């Protein structure tokens, strides 16, 4: 579950700052956001796109909420057309509203690299809510340009620990206020990053790197950040070229906060190069 995080003025140490995602700009029916790739290799994975995708989809619906107080994301669906090999220095997400009803909306997004090549497409459904308030955050402000580290992998950025299990993989994210949205719970894009990392690691197993080709998330409830959160991945099918994982997000009280299906494809040997292998 995700709450649209409205930001004004200088940036705090937010998921947007950590992943170098810009505020949205409106151009007619299109909302645009960019993500600075920084050092190419750490961001050469689909998991790095979570905050960009979730924010662009969420802001596109949030801006059309009318007199409703806020927006809660219900589900997120992404297809990665070009999972690696992006041309920098930035990616651009373009979001559009597809439909709006009394209680919710649906938006779509297309992400392009600096050469104009399509990187990913996605959709999200959101529910309008009333009576929500943004959390008060007294942390010092980060630089106004939102600059963040450029040499960290997505896993390092969220501070997670990733390990293999008998059934797949487990990603544990420790308490970290920098991963919060406006309500002080885990940002939906950070969750997308974690789902991708865990599901991909389970699918790859011990056989080497795979590319995430699609990600389908259902958000059940908010994810608190005061205690560790676990993303448990199990392999549903493992073929020679394609593998499918199911990932469940559980809070410290054992409650299921969401579930995702992650589909991965094994790249051709000629494209592997020096890419990272699955975690040991």
pLDDT in tens, 23-48: 999 999 999 999 999 765 444 589 99
Cis-peptide, bond into residue 89, ω within 30° of zero? yes
CA distance 178 to 12: 9
CA distance 226 to 25: 32
User: Which sign does the torsion angle of CA 178, 105, 116, 263 carry?
Assistant: positive
pLDDT per residue as tens digits for the range 231-258? 999 999 999 899 999 999 999 999 999 9
Give this prediction's pTM.
0.88
Which three-class secondary structure state does DSSP give residue 60?
helix
pLDDT score recorded for residue 13: 78
Which three-class secondary structure state does DSSP give residue 31?
strand
For residues 193 and 132, the model is more confident at 193
> Cβ contacts of residue 235 below 8 Å, gap of 6+?
167, 168, 202, 203, 205, 243, 244, 245
Whether the CB-CB separation of 190 and 76 falls below 8 Å is answered with no
Average pLDDT of the chain is: 86
pLDDT score recorded for residue 7: 41
> In the CATH hierarchy, which fold is given to the domain comprising 2-132+147-271?
Porin (2.40.160)
* Minimum mean pLDDT range among 33-37, 40-44, 111-115, 158-162: 40-44
pLDDT score recorded for residue 25: 95
pLDDT score recorded for residue 12: 57
Percent pLDDT > 90 in the chain is: 75
- The closest alpha carbon to 81, from 214, 271, 193, 264, belongs to 214
Look at residue 273 and tell me whether its pLDDT is greater than 60: no
- The closest alpha carbon to 74, from 260, 222, 220, belongs to 220
> Cβ contacts of residue 194 below 8 Å, gap of 6+?
47, 50, 158, 160, 171, 173, 229, 231, 249
Q: Write out the two tokens for 267.
A: 């790249």
């Amino acid at each position: 579950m995700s709450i649209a995080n409205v930001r004004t003025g200088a940036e705090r140490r937010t998921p947007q700052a950590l992943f170098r995602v810009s505020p949205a700009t409106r151009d007619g029916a299109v909302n645009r956001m960019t993500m600075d790739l920084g050092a190419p290799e750490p961001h050469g994975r689909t998991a790095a796109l979570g905050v960009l995708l979730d924010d662009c989809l969420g802001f596109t619906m949030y801006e059309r909420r009318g007199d409703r107080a806020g927006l809660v994301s219900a589900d997120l669906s992404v297809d990665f057309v070009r999972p690696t090999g992006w041309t920098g220095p930035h990616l651009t997400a373009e979001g559009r509203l597809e439909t709006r009803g009394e209680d919710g909306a649906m938006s779509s997004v297309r992400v392009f690299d600096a050469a104009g090549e399509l990187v990913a497409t996605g959709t999200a459904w959101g529910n309008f809510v009333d009576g929500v308030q943004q959390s008060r955050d007294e942390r010092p402000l980060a630089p106004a340009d939102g600059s963040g580290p450029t040499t960290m992998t997505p896993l390092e950025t969220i501070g997670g620990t990733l390990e293999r299990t008998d059934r797949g993989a487990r990603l544990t994210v420790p308490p970290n206020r920098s991963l919060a949205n406006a309500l002080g719970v885990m940002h939906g894009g950070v969750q997308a990053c974690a789902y991708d990392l865990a599901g991909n690691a389970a699918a790859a197993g011990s056989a080497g790197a795979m590319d995430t080709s699609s990600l389908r998330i259902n958000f059940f409830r908010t994810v608190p950040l005061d205690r560790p959160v676990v993303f448990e991945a199990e392999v549903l099918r493992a073929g020679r070229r394609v593998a499918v994982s199911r990932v469940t997000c559980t809070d410290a009280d054992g409650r299921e906060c969401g579930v995702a299906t992650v589909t991965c494809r094994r790249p051709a040997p000629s494209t592997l190069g020096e890419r990272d292998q699955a975690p040991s």
